Amino acid sequence: IKHDIRVDSNNVMDLVADYDVVVDGTDNFATRYLLNDACFFNGKPYISAAIYKFEGQLAVFNYQEGPCYRCLYPEPPPANLVPNCAEGGVLGVLPGVMGTIQAMETLKIILDIGDVCSNHLLLYDALGTSFRKMKIKAREDCKLCGENPSIKSVQSIEQVCETVSNEDSILEWDVQRLFKAREEGTSLILLDVREEYELQIASLSEVLHIPMGDINLRYSELPDDLDIVVMCRSGKRSLKVCEQLLSLGFERVYNLRGGILDWSDKIDQSIQKY
């Protein structure tokens, strides 16, 4: 049955109500939150998949009291944090790979066989030909399915996209503090969120490199028991990544004020500026 309409808060509840399983093939966060919320209120499993460059992720939400999408991603990321497909690129066969896995999860639910990927996030690395699973669980403080939910009905697109900026509350390190910490051997993670080509122009040693657009797929690589200092070229992109990490539950996150440009000016002038 084809529905030639744009999904929004006015029609999503009725659309979802007529089906047993919802398989998400959308490409934007607002619609994903709408579908998740509508599935939760209708009691329908929500099979979500996302792709970026050479990587994909998949999970089944709202299944047998398992976590919902908001348990994994409480708030949408800032609009400029995640590049679209035109900016970041997607390997052409990747949607087929993830879509086929979604179809398998759908069959497992309908036939009541196997282990449904409900309490795990499945991560696929196409270049490394590898799969790994990250355990997720329902959050007691989830705004939708938690013990004291604040979301009582499907929100409008405007409400879904409305995020509270944490910029004013983000703590910052200056380059002198970072230099001293590294000199003293302090255990920390220096997270460089620039693109690969930028690292070839100017880079620091002993950094963890995760491009800004990959944070949603790779944040599981970050420890939660060490200080994470996030750096970019000037400190603007890293500030947005700090916001995202805070929304994902990380607490010891700090923005490197001025980025590698400040490092070049005040610490090591041999670092090329660009």
Active site residues: 85, 232
Q: Which structure tokens are listed for 270?
A: 């041999």
Give burial (CB, 10 Å; 0-12/13-18/19+) of 157.
Answer: middle
Cα 143 from Cα 48, distance rounded (Å): 19
3-state secondary structure 72-100: HCCCCCCCCCCCCHHHHCECCCHHHHHHH
Nearest by Cα to 40 from 61, 14, 9: 61
Number of neighbouring beta carbons within 10 Å of residue 213: 19
| Buried-exposed string 47-68: b where 16+ CB fall within 10 A, e elsewhere | bbbbbbbebbbbbbbbbeebbb
Cα 200 from Cα 186, distance rounded (Å): 26
Cα 58 from Cα 142, distance rounded (Å): 20
137 Cβ neighbours under 8 A, 6+ residues apart: 67, 71, 119
Nearest by Cα to 172 from 249, 247, 74, 262: 262
